[in-house]
Structure 1
Amino acid sequence: MPANHRVHGAIARPNYIATSGGVELFYRDWRPEGTPANGKTVVFVPSYSLSGDMWAYQMLPLARQGFRCIAYDRRGHGRSSDPGGGYDYDTLADDLAAIIDALDLSNVTLVGYSMGGAEAVRYLTRHGSARVARLALIASTLPMLAKTPDNPDGIDRAYADAFHRDLMTDYPQWLADNARPFAGPGASQAMIDWIREMALRTSHQALFACNETVNSGDFRDELRDIDVPTLIVQGDCDVSNPLELTSRRTARLIPNARLVVYEGSPHGVFLSDAARLTADIGAFASAS
């Protein structure tokens, strides 16, 4: 795919990359001391509402195995700037491009979780695959969540409206009510508290705008243009992004895709199945 859009990021200060629009994105870059910068590289795109910290239980073991692991905070999330706009998929994909360009990365395994999977796909269709060798989509929102006349099995708009009301009135309670179904019965309360605190640090404006972006996303045509090997992972007890609506359809649309279903697993597979997911990402990123 041709790279039709070039984005030149610049390292603004330690652990920050500035986009062409002046937004500063916080990132982590973990690799064993002495490992070459151009070695096996995995770039992690986080979930809606969460920062790059969510990937700690994949990044640390993979870095100890010799991978260069990079994760960043989406604008309005974590330590990144809160610019008050730019939460559409094109701009978010350009932010990802700024990270990849500024660090001059190549032969990347790009891993996107939930909304981050859609951002990774938009990066590839907007910027091309010259720097990316493989794509992993974990519990993604793809190809389309919203219920429409041509997507009758989608999620009714009433669910988004209800979330927006909770966001306006008592988001902490919404998190408390939904954290256990997200993380699964095996997650410790301490781990759930960690995820909730991460989500509570996200800009409310970013939460609202990104939710609208997710709900309006339609990647059904775009997925057919993905030209890199793709691993798709999802739990079959995902109540956020139902398997039949998302990953099964995505696997049929991407030409060179492999779907792995985690039986009995929830949306938050990066927590509930941390070791298994880490092993699957590592094996995929090591493939020739």
Structure 2
Amino acid sequence: MSYIKAGQDANGNDVKLHYTDQGQGNPIVLIHGWPASYEMWEYQLAELPKHGNRVVAYTRRGFGNSTKTWEGNDYDTFADDLKAVLDTLDLQNVTLVGFSMGGGEVARYMSRHGGARVSKVVFVSAVTPFLLQTDDNPDGAPKENFDKMVEGINKDRFDFLATFGKQFFGVGMVSHPVSQPTLDWMQAMCQIASPRATEQCVYAFAATDFRRDLAALKVPTLVIHGSDDATVPAKVSGERMTQFVPHAQYVEYAGAPHGLFITEKDRLNRDLAAFTAGTTVEGTTDRY
């Protein structure tokens, strides 16, 4: 296994991030969602290097095979960890791709570290701009929704993950966009996350306001979201992004659930390859 050192924890122990580095060419860095690991990008890691790209994917602290820290499950720390990845591998002109919770890393990195080494960014099913319902964010989700998630995690994390996985991929009584083996694979991936990080990150991605971070985005920006995303609904996330990043291109995948990196993998791969190469990404470009 390959690891990148990302500083030390409160007890002076090294924090190591598990990563993979595939192909040569335009660098793309893939940032996974909650509570998975970089392995969720299996189909992107298999395809994007075929199109002249160097593709790096890493697992944030607390998840997968990266170091499980007690503290540091916050976006400032995650952005600093991303900086360690880019600096250690000396990547330049990077296309950052953040899925779901990973979109928060992209936004916070661009503001906290001035977008160093980054030339383009992509938000896929992302939690940006701000999920929590507040007085100045009335369209967000009530805090009670996230409290219930934490309650479910603490009561029976494995049962919670099984139910969450079905919603994640849009599985219902008559809808089966992914197979049972895929659901099992995803659940196994999520089970090895730290219970502490799994719980704390619910509040991290729910309560972190990225609206000011998004104002720092000056590079080409692509926003991709599924119209049927029941986990992070497009109306509170993807559809609102151009309000805070006016130059962003918004592409909505009709009928797609949250986990579109699997259900729409061919289209997503084409769009990521095209955007990285500087060619046209087909789809909705202006919803306002």
Q: Same fold (TM over 0.5)?
A: yes
* AA at the equivalent of 2:22: W
Mapped pair 1:212 → 2:199: no
Q: Does 1:201 align with 2:192?
A: yes
Using the size of structure 1 for normalisation, the TM-score is 0.91
Q: What is the CA deviation profile of residues 20-64 of structure 1, one whole-angstrom value per residue up to 9, with x for unaligned ones?
A: 222111110011xxx4xxx21100011010100001101111112
* Offset of residue 164 of structure 1: 1.1
Q: What's the secondary structure of 2:232's corresponding residue?
A: coil
Q: Distance in 2 between matches of 1:148 and 1:54?
A: 32
Aligned to 1:17: 4
Are the structure 2 counterparts of residues 67 and 156 from structure 1 closer, same or farther at C-alpha, using a change threshold of 3 Å? Answer: same
8 Å Cα contact 1:110/1:120 also seen in 2: yes
**Matched position secondary structure for 2:7:** coil
For residue 181 of structure 1, report the CA deviation from its aligned partner. 2.2
The one-letter amino acid paired with 1:59 is L
Equivalent of 2:20, from 25, 28, 43? Answer: 28
> Aligned AA for 1:199?
C
Counterpart in the other structure of 1:105: 91
Q: Is the 8 A contact 1:229 1:256 kept in 2?
A: yes
Q: Does the aligned pair in 1 maintain the 2:224–2:251 contact within 8 Å?
A: yes
Q: Secondary structure at the match of 1:170?
A: helix
Give 2:127's aligned residue: 141
Q: Report what 1:49 is aligned to.
A: 35
Which residue is 1:132 aligned to?
A: 118
What residue number does 2:140 align with? Answer: 154
Q: Is the 8 A contact 2:110 2:213 kept in 1?
A: no
| Aligned-residue offset at 1:150 | 1.2
Partner of 1:225 in structure 2? 216
Residue in 2 that maps onto 1:4: none
- 2:228 is aligned with 1:237: yes
In structure 1, what residue type is equivalent to 2:4? I
Between stretches 195-204 and 152-161, larger displacement belongs to 152-161
Q: Distance in 1 between matches of 2:76 and 2:42?
A: 27
Matching residue within 48, 57, 62 for 1:76: 62
Contact 2:158 2:191 in 1 (8 A): yes
- Identify the match of residue 266 of structure 1 among 252, 257, 267: 257
What letter is aligned with 2:141?
I
* CA deviation after TM superposition for structure 1 residue 256, in Å: 2.0
SS of residue matched to 2:236: coil
The residue matched to 1:79 in structure 2 has which SS?
coil
Q: Note the C-alpha offset of 1:151.
A: 1.1
1:157-172 matched pairs, under 5 angstroms: 157-172=143-158
Does the Cα contact within 8 Å between 1:226 and 1:255 map onto a contact in 2? no
- What is the rounded CA distance, in whole Å, between the counterparts of 1:65 and 1:147 in structure 2? 41
Moved over 6 A (4+): none
Q: Counterpart of 1:118?
A: 104
Q: Which residue of 2 aligns with 1:284?
A: 275
Give ranges in structure 2 of 5+ residues lacking alignment: 9-13, 171-175, 280-288
Matched residues, percent identical? 39
Q: Find the residue that maps to 2:95 and give its secondary structure.
A: strand
Q: Quick one: distance in 2 between partners of 1:230 and 1:194? A: 31
Work out which of the residue numbers 160, 176, 182 in structure 2 matches 1:191. Answer: 182
Give 1:176 deviation, angstroms.
1.7
Q: Distance in 1 between matches of 2:17 and 2:164?
A: 28
2: distance between equivalents of 1:80 and 1:219? Answer: 25
- The alignment's C-alpha RMSD in Å is 1.2
Asked if structure 1 preserves the Cα contact closer than 8 Å seen for 2:32 and 2:40, the reply is yes
Deviation at 1:180, TM superposition (A): 2.0
Residue aligned with 1:244, SS: helix
TM-score by length of 2: 0.91
State the AA in 2 paired with 1:77.
F
Q: How far did 1:251 drift? A: 2.0
Which of 40, 57, 61 is equivalent to 2:26? 40
The more displaced of 95-104 and 174-183 is 174-183
